[in-house]
Every structure is written in C-alpha cells, then in structure tokens.
Structure 1
Amino acid sequence: MTVAITLGPVSVSRAGQTRTERSLFRARELSVTTVLVVALGEIDAANSAELRSFVEDHVAGYQQLVLDLSRLDFFGTDGFSALHAVNVRCSRRGIDWVMVPGPEVSRALRVCDPEGSLPIATNIVSAVAALARGPLRQLQLAPLPK
C-alpha cells in the first residue's frame, strides 16, 4: 500500500507516524488541546492492538481526540474492540473524543454498536465543531460490586 498525504501538521511537536504491514497511523496536533489521529489501510485482528496503542501514545497530554477512520479499506470486528478500548481509556482520562467513520467502519458499527454509544461525526470539521460545543456524553464506569 502506498500512501501520500500532502497536508503538513499544524504543529510538529506531537506529530507521529506508524506503519504496519497493512496500515498507516498518523497523528497531528490540531490545537494545544486537540489531537487528530488518522488510520489508513486496514484494521483487523493483526493490527487492531497497534491502533489502540498508537491512539493511547498520542492522546497523552490532550483533552480532545478526533479519530479519523474515514479512509480505511477494511475494518474488522477486532477494530471495534479497539474502539471500545479507546472509549474506555478516554473516559477514564476525561478526554472528549469523536470518531469520523468511513463506509467500512459504519458497516461494523451498525452491527457492533446499534445503539450508537460511540461518538461519531460525518467529517473532521464537524468532529472538531462537536468537541468545541462542549463535553460529549462520556462513558460512565461503575464500580465493581464487592
């Protein structure tokens, strides 16, 4: 897979990139409070943990995350597990986040998240606008029974 992205980062202090066999993950700072993580290629059982780790590594120090999955060619159910983990970790850290799904991710969400519990937006601009409007509904973690 060959990928070329011509848009440069707004700030390079937190920029990052990781390439796996079938995917490319990129991060760039949109503002001092917001980071954009982009995934290209495929997310499946072989690399869903890398997506989760990449997001976790690049969200540290930010209050907001935009996760752009709109250009994925394939998104398996293991990718949904990674999204659930991102949701839990963001909730624990008090990080607001919004995902921009493409057709592959939307298909998986219809099956795996029919209630629409994960925050989504139609594009990056609307994701940033949703984050700017204020805190999104966060996952509420309940304590374990004793």
Structure 2
Amino acid sequence: MSVATRAALLPGTDLGRDSTERGQFRARELSATTVLITAVGEIDAANSGELLRFVEKLLADYDQLVLDLSQLGFFATDGYSALHSIDTRCKRRGIDWVVVPGAEVMRVLRVCDPEGLLNTAGNIVSAVAALARGPHTHLQLARAVK
C-alpha cells in the first residue's frame, strides 16, 4: 500500500508537545471527540514507551484517535509493540483509532501485521473520514446511552 500525499494539519487546539532524544510527539484536538497525535523523528526501544505514555495520557478525554506516524525517519519493531498496546487500550475503552503510516512504519507493519489488523489510512484527512464512517464500538454506544 502506498501512502498518499500528506494532508495539512486541520485547525484545532494544540494540546502540547513532548520531546525525547530521538523523537517528538505533539497533539492537536481536531474536535471535542477526536485527537490527532503526530510523531516526528524515530521510534525505537529508547522511546517507544514514551510514545505509549504520551498517547495514554490523552486517551481518557477522547472517543477517537488519529496517530500520524507518516513523518518518522525510523520505526523499529518496538514501535509496533507500542501500536499493539495502543490498540488493546483503545479497544478496552471503546476508542476508535486509525494509524497514518509512513514508509518506515509500513515496512514494519508488512512483517508484524501482515493481516492488516490495525486500521490504517493514507493521510490525515482519510483517517478522519474513516473515523466519521465508523466502526463504532459497543463501549462507545454504551457511553452514549448513559
């Protein structure tokens, strides 16, 4: 799968940044229910846990997550472990999410996720559109009923 041209960031509220030795993470609120988290630089054993913690601290406030990894220059299998953990935590909380992979992430996903179980999109706009279409989890529907 080839990655389409990167979309410009959508207007939103800047939720902050976190830098590591190898990478930088930033978050923007796209809507009251959707957060965009972007990673730039590298994801490897040294900072994959920091990416996971950065995502984790924002999950409680949103129903949808777009994780933009299209600007990474390096993505190790430790990064896939972080993605798997994010997937598990999102499923538990009923959060719909999509990964926007770049070439480095796709290289690892071809090996670690050959069935394509992680939801991916070619760019940010496509990811937001996919979230708007669903799928919506049972937990989210239960939250709406309460």
Q: Is the partner of 2:18 in helix, strand or coil?
A: strand
Distance 1:81 1:137 in 2: 23
Distance 1:64 1:109 in 2: 21
C-alpha displacement of 1:126: 0.2
Quickly say closer, same or farther: Cα 1:48–1:99, change in 2 above 3 A: same
Q: Which runs of 4+ in 1 moved over 4 A?
A: none
Residues 30 and 36 of structure 2 are in contact (CA less than 8 Å); yes or no, is this contact kept in structure 1?
yes
Higher relative contact order (CA 8 A, sep 6+): 2
The corresponding residue for 1:44 is 44
Distance 1:128 1:67 in 2: 11
Count of equivalent residues: 131
Amino acid at match of 1:36: L
Amino acid at match of 1:63: D
The corresponding residue for 1:131 is 131
Residues 95 and 137 of structure 2 are in contact (CA less than 8 Å); yes or no, is this contact kept in structure 1?
no
Higher fraction of helix: 2
- Identity, in percent, stands at 68
C-alpha displacement of 1:25: 0.2
The corresponding residue for 2:35 is 35
C-alpha displacement of 1:58: 1.4
Runs of at least 5 residues in structure 2 that lack an aligned partner in the other structure: 1-8, 139-146
2:12 to 10, 13, 24: 10
The corresponding residue for 1:80 is 80
Q: Deviations over 1:106-138 (max 9, x none)?
A: 000000000000000000000000000022689
Q: Deviations over 1:45-101 (max 9, x none)?
A: 000000000001112210000000000000000000000000000000000000000
Amino acid at match of 2:70: S
